[in-house]
A and B are shown apart, each in its own frame.
Chain A
Amino acid sequence: MKRIAKLSTLSVLVLIMVFVAACGKSGNNNNNASPSPKASEAAAAPAAESAAASESSQPADKKVVLGFAQVGAESGWRSANTKSIQESAATAGFDLKFSDAQQKQENQIKAIRSYIQQKVDVIAFSPVVESGWDTVLKEAKEAGIPVILTDRAVDSEDTSLYKTFIGSDFVEEGRKAGQWLVDQYKDASGEVNIVELQGTTGSAPANDRKSGFLDVITSNPNLKIIASQTGDFTRAKGKEVMQAFLQANKKIDVLYAHNDDMALGAIQAIEAAGLKPGVDIKIISVDGVHDGIQAASEGKINFIVECNPLLGPQLMTAVNDVLAGKDIPLRIVTEEGTFTSEQALAALPNRQY
């Protein structure tokens, strides 16, 4: 009797595992196979040329294998970035091996090592943090696999470790944010108190957006950063930290958030404090995701510096160029703009992400 019970338990377990495994697989397929129609339309146009390039440079029978190690899905920006890469890889006819590191460097290193073992043609990744990549990049170089960095940089001295870095100039983004603030307060006589919500400690966008912003605002001695803390690029943390800032500081004039999601969390904290976001406290943020642009169009965010996540097509072109043996620049900068509240209102209807 007892044996039967044990056996049945075991069989139930096995059944459940099979079921769960099947679920996971079908879910993944869904993700890859049916992207939302809106975004695919947008990606299709620029990706078409890279698709043509791939046909000319590669023999038709062998698919290019691209290993991509993504940071994670920490924000709407990142999701749009992931989607753009997956879609343009599909249009370019590449076999994309995609991994999600869940914001951990060790996961990314593991993923890159497994790509090296699988002998993929090109490895691309967005480094979680700036430092600590030399060893794994050398392994890739020794294996003869070219590496392309996207969106975030590494601080390696040896630039031969990677072919190119495609992405935004975060220092420039910080400068643009600072410049707007300097222009806004050029006539201010009193002190302007600024609080800063930083990104993940040690990440390239957090370091660069901070330093670019600081560079510019030091020109006006009235502009003062009175508090600065990390919000990990997330809404929940942004809200919690902003709430503490509001308690600890009597007078806050400006909030500078390193991404839209933290700004959105902070807006909720500001509203809970009985203040009007965008009026009582001016808000500057970076990224320009849909929810951020929407908040800007409602006047809750005063200024957004765009950071374009749709770099999939550019990445695929670079992959083809690298494989074709062409010389490509070590730095490819993406096109980016800025939004004031009025511009956000105009841009909102055709925002894709």
Chain B
Amino acid sequence: MNRMFRHHLFWPLAILAALLLFNLFYSPDFFNIVMRNGHMYGSLIDILNFGAPLVLVAIGMTLVIATKGIDLSVGSIVAIAGALACLTISRGTDQNALSLVLSAVGLTVGLSFFLGAWNGFLVATTGIQPIIATLILMVAGRGIAQLITSGQIITVTSDTYNYIGNGALAALPFSIFIVAAIYLIVSLLTRKTALGLFIESVGCNPQASRLIGIRSRLIIITVYMFCGLCAGIAGLILSSNVASADGNNAGLWYELDAILAVVIGGTSLNGGRFYLTGTVIGALIIQTLTTTIYMIGVPPEITLVVKAFVVLTVCLIQSEVFRKKVVQRWKTRRYPAEREVSRHV
């Protein structure tokens, strides 16, 4: 029992369960899933589908944070990726052509790799602090995205491209499979090879790691590139989901949601340790919370306050110091009146 409490996934899972339970009481058919034109349809599926891009970005962010870094530019990369893909497709003659969509996806993936490499290069070789290095692209990225879309919303009518964010495979949204595949690959690479250990070691102490023969710079550049890639794919999913690219709003504040997801998942911003599964659950908690707020009809004026309150509670519950204090308070509580009574008897 004690072991279960101490497992790093216990609290994130408990919070997710509590949120789902709340929904169950609030609207009993929350868990209903029906089949509709070969798709599964229901609130849970919506959470997975809309949460997929966030999970993806958060996975990339986890690795960056594990090296004691941070990537603020993911939201902008999401916007750039969506803009570039939609622009490429809208220029094509036959928008449904598989080759066109594939080349758009390939171009976008390549660009996201490059943007990630740019971040990694700034952090690893020029020694700029990660928060500043990635801030550059965060600010400039929205401008680049608007340059690509020339300030317009680009609408595409390609069923092939639409499949990425809206299609269904085995009755489940296709985006879930993309996320699951990347999650599996990353877990295998980091937990079954020495790569995970290298990343954690660089996060603990890049100097010492270099001295024992780990190529710190290469590791750092690689994780930023991977983070860029995740953000790029998330951008593809998001833009294909609404069949349009919006340079200004796509992925707005995504970096903050992703960092929050990583922290809720139990990874420390100090680096040196990371929990991928925790991150996935953290991202799902955030998406469940958003969906819950929409479903129970919180007035839009106070939505953010409600969200902040829940996040605060989540963070407090997760904090071991806070938990211990509460428990201690409770254990050492004294009841002077009671004691006196018992003494007289």
Contacts and interface: CB of A to CB of B under 8 A. Distances in A.
Contacts of A156: none
A248 B300 contact: no
B142 interface: yes
Contacts of A102: 142, 248
Interface in B30-51: 30, 36-37, 39, 41-43, 46, 50
B147 A24 contact: yes
A44 interface: no
B88 interface: no
Interface in A292-332: none
A243 interface: yes
B153 A245 contact: no
Contacts of A227: 297
Interface residues of A, number: 42
Nearest to B39: A272
Contact of A73 (B27, B39, B243, B247): B247
B146 A247 contact: no
Interface string B238-258: 100111101111100000000
B70 to A, nearest CB: 21
A79 B242 contact: no
A268 B242 contact: yes
B241 A31 contact: no
A230 B293 CA distance: 11
B252 to A, nearest CB: 8
Contacts of A274: 36-37, 41
A236 B300 CA distance: 17
Contacts of B298: 229
A82 B242 CA distance: 24
A79 B41 contact: no
Contacts, number: 100
Candidate in B296, B300, B303 with the most chain A CB atoms within 10 angstroms: B300
Given A73-B151, A76-B152, A244-B294, A228 B300 contact: yes
Contact of B46 (A31, A74, A100, A243): A243
B249 A234 contact: yes
B125 interface: yes
Given A236-B246, A272-B41, A273-B36, A75 B153 contact: yes
Interface string A215-242: 0000000000001111010111001110
A93 interface: no
Q: Which of A230, A243, A247 has the most CB of B within 10 A?
A: A247
Given A31-B150, A76-B153, A198-B300, A248 B294 contact: yes
Interface in A57-82: 72-76, 79, 82
B22 to A, nearest CB: 14
Contacts of B301: 201-202
A307 to B, nearest CB: 16
Contact of B43 (A72, A232, A247, A272): A247
Interface string A79-93: 100100000000000
B36 to A, nearest CB: 4
Contacts of A229: 294, 297-298, 300, 303
Contacts of A273: 36, 41
B294 A241 contact: yes
Contacts of B250: 236
B151 A244 contact: no
Given A240-B50, A244-B295, A103 B248 contact: yes
Interface string A81-125: 010000000000000000010110000000000000000000000
27 contacts: A24-B147, A31-B150, A72-B248, A73-B151, A73-B247, A74-B248, A74-B249, A76-B152, A79-B152, A79-B153, A82-B151, A202-B301, A228-B297, A229-B294, A230-B303, A234-B249, A235-B242, A235-B244, A236-B246, A240-B50, A240-B290, A244-B46, A244-B295, A248-B294, A265-B242, A274-B37, A291-B155
Given A228-B299, A235-B244, A235-B246, 5 more contacts: A9-B126, A20-B140, A230-B303, A261-B153, A272-B41
